[in-house]
Each structure stands twice: as C-alpha cells, then as structure tokens.
Amino acid sequence: MNTQVRSSRQAALWDGRFQSPAADAALALSASLEIDLPLAEHDVEASRAHVAELCRLGLLAADDADRLDVALVSISGQLADGSFAWRPEHEDIHMNVEAAVIDAVGPELGGMLQAGRSRNDEIVTDERRWLARITAGLIEDVADLRSVLLTRAEAETTTILPAHTHTQPAQPILLAHHLLAYVEMLDRDTGRLRDASRRADRSPAGSGAVAGSGLPLDRHRVATALGFGGVTDNSVDAVSDRDYVLETVSALAILVGHLSRLAGELVLWSTPYVGFARLDDAFSSGSSMLPNKRNPDSTELVRARAARVAGNLTTLHSLMRGLPLAYHRDLQETRPQMFDAVESTRLCLEVMTGVMDSVAFDQGRMRAAAERGHARALILADRLVARGVAFREAHRRVGSLVATAEASGLDLSELSADILDAALPELASAPMPTVEEAIAAADVHGGTAPHRVRAALEAARERVDRMVRA
C-alpha cells in the first residue's frame, strides 16, 4: 500500500463553514493518513455497503449506485497496488476516499456518498472490522506458539529441572511441567482475545455524528453486509466508545507479559553460568567488540516490547479517562497505540515461536542443578508428617539439617546416614529420597508427578486439536 502523502493545498471537503484554510501546523497535527492506512480497505468496504443502503432507500438510482460502486472498487484496487493518491488537505482516509469518488463521478453524485453518516461512526466501523481480522490472526499466532511449547513439553517428560521461588531453588519438577505452565498462560490469553473480539463485533455504522443517522438506514442490514455479528445499541456510546481498543490492547499487554517471562527465563538459562538452554544462531547475536560473545538479543527485545505494549495501554487509559461524551479528536490518538501494540505482539509471537522451536535444552545441567539446593527437604518433612510428626516440627528439624549441610559445604542429600538418623529417627535407616521420588510425591491434579504431567499433556493436546478443528 502506498504510504506517501502528496502535498497539496486544495480546499477541504468541510471548508464551507470557514473563511480561510487550516494553518499548516494545524493540518500537520490533525492529519492521520499515514497512521490510518491499514484501515483504508475497510473504509472502502463500509462505503460500498452504505451505497447499497442508500440505493435500497431510493435515495440513489440503481445506475448511480452502480457508478459509485465501480468508483469504490477502483479505489480498492488502487489501494491494493499502491497507486492511490493521498491528499493531506483531506486529513484522513474517509475524506480521501470521498474526494476520490467525487473526482471519479463528479460532485453531484459523489456528494451523496456521505449522506446519513459521519466520520465519527465511520472510523469506529473501520477500527472494529480491522480488529476482527487482526485478532483472528493473533489467535492463530498464539496457537502456533502453544503448539510448539506443547511439542517441546512432550519431548521432555523425563527431564528434571529445579523449580524456583524467589529465584532460589525450591523443588525438582519436570521440564514438561514447567513448559506446560506457559501453555496454560497462552490458553488464557486466547480466551481474553476471543472475549475482546466478541464484544468488538458490533457495527456502529449508522450512528452518525452522535445522535444517529437522519436517514432511515437499516443498521442490521449494513452490519450483516460488513460481517458484524450485531449492532451497537446507543449512538452516543457508539461514536465515543473505545473499549474494544482498550480490551484488546489490555489482552495483548498480558499476552506479551507472558512472552516476556518466558524470554526472561531463556536469557537467564542461556548464560554459561546456568547453561540450561542454548538459543539457536538465528535468534542470537554477537558483539561488535567482544569476539567471545553470544547474546540472546531476540529474547531481550521481547522483554522490551512487553514494556512498550504496557505503555500503549497506559496511554490509552490516560486518553480515555477524562473525555466527556461523545466524540473528541483526542480519540484519533488511540490508533497509533492500537496499531503498535498489535504489531509488537505479532512480532514477539513470531520470534518466541521460532525461539522455542529451536532452543536446545541441556538435560544434564538441569538435572545436576535439581540435585543441588537441598531440593529434597520438603519430601523429608512430608515423610516425617506421614510418621506422625507435626509439620512445623518436621520443618524445623529438616531446616536445621539444611543449616548443618551448608556449614559443611554440602547439599542436604550428601549428609551422612548417622547425622540423618540422629535428627530424623522416625526415618532411621531409610535411604535419602531421590529427586524422582520427590517429583512423584507431588501427586495431585496440576502437580509435577509424571502421570499427572502426562495427563496434562494429553488434555492440552486435545484442547489444541479441538481449537484447530473449530
């Protein structure tokens, strides 16, 4: 699509009320062409539906409606091949399309195109249609990442990883269980995007500037023609509402926040001091100075984009919270935030799908780390509880053993049998539990016990397959 706006000082279409043209600075501030280009094709489609409705009402003869439709189809083709000539004095896509129609069919017939509608209801119609398409694409992108995560989890059902709380070693878990946590997050992200899309799926066309169209438009017929599932119920709300933007960008901010958490883990895991993961060359970079460097730049930038999308959401809230009803030109500034949030999310999803598809996990390093950090402390305490010891007493005694091990530079699992038997007589002569036994002990729904993880994997795979079939 052509993104070049040609300079011109021709009169604006609304200039009848004014004695002189807009100042250059005011024109530059109000112009939204280069921002709004993604909406242009939707504006043309909405205009075609409006022409059909004017014809149905008898306000346009069939031949005239056909001439207008041919002009709009021609404009659609010019938008597609980049040849459409944008004129800045017309400020936005709506008036550029209208001006092009007037150029094509003349001012008398072309001047009917705006009958019964306003730019106020046009822009929200275009935005809602654009969001419907783009949200569907983002949901597919989320599904791609979820599928990759699930495939990687299915391949790591015996890989043992130290789970952390407070960035400190806590308990051993299966890597598959850890990866499934992100699958759960993405499931919720999908639900939020679908909810936002469902509420956005209402046509405001026919709401006019604020009070509703002065023509007896069949708004339901227009909504159906444009692919909407229904119509908005209040014209004042319809032209001033941007909840559909706020909801979508809010869902995107949460989604990219999840991607940032995964990216942050990979940044940590890929450092040689941890060595749990190695990012593929395609998602790594070198240093301009240090020949030894292998930097996880892609994942670092995903973290940065998460902050950017959160900033988009904050800007949107700040724009909307103080506006009295109904339409204000302030609302024009919601679109750059919406477009940027969508593009940042799309790019981050593409990157993280590639990262997770190609990352190499070091199972040996993970297991070695899981063996350390006194990872078997809880299972020892739980076994004492099973022998009738109060948990707080069990906690105190095992904690004391951890302190003894640390003072000797040992892991809890390396303490001698004599020390263990003296501190834990209820477990005398019982061997130190293995990390596999510690993992198997978390045998509750949603826990890391192997058979629970296998069941979770099967359930997740069924959900993914069901979504693909839907």
**Which is catalytic among the residues 20, 166, 288, 429?**
166
User: How far, CA to CA in Å, does 393 sit from each of 211, 353, 380, 406, 423?
Assistant: 71, 47, 12, 20, 11
First to last CA, the chain: 32
Q: What are phi and psi of 89, to 5 degrees?
A: -65, -15
- Nearest-5° Cα angle at 301, 298 to 303: 115
Q: What are phi and psi of 105, to 5 degrees?
A: -120, -5
State the pairing for strand pair 277-278/160-165.
unpaired
Q: Contact, 267 vs 355, CB < 8 A?
A: no
Instruction: Please tell me the total number of residues recorded for the chain in this structure.
Output: 470
Q: In 10 A of CB 426, how many CB atoms?
A: 15
- Nearest-5° Cα angle at 72, 69 to 76: 135
Contacts within 8 Å (CB) and 24+ apart, 429-432: 430/383, 432/376
Identity of residue 145 = L
180 vs 84: CA distance, rounded Å: 48
Cis peptide preceding 326, ω within 30 of 0: yes
Q: Contact, 57 vs 144, CB < 8 A?
A: no
93 vs 386: CA distance, rounded Å: 72
Handedness of CA 159, 165, 169, 171 (dihedral sign): negative
304 vs 314: CA distance, rounded Å: 15
Sequence-separated (6 or more) residues with CB below 8 Å from residue 385: 391, 394
**Which is catalytic among the residues 8, 30, 83, 287?**
287
Axis crossing angle, helix 450-469 with helix 175-200, rounded to the nearest 10:
30
Alpha-helical segments (H) within 18-61:
24-30, 33-36, 40-56
Alpha-helical segments (H) within 213-275:
219-225, 235-240, 243-270
Query: Catalytic: 287?
Result: yes
Axis crossing angle, helix 334-358 with helix 297-320, rounded to the nearest 10:
160
3-state secondary structure of 124: helix
Q: In 10 A of CB 143, how many CB atoms?
A: 17
40 vs 222: CA distance, rounded Å: 18
Residues with catalytic roles: 166, 287
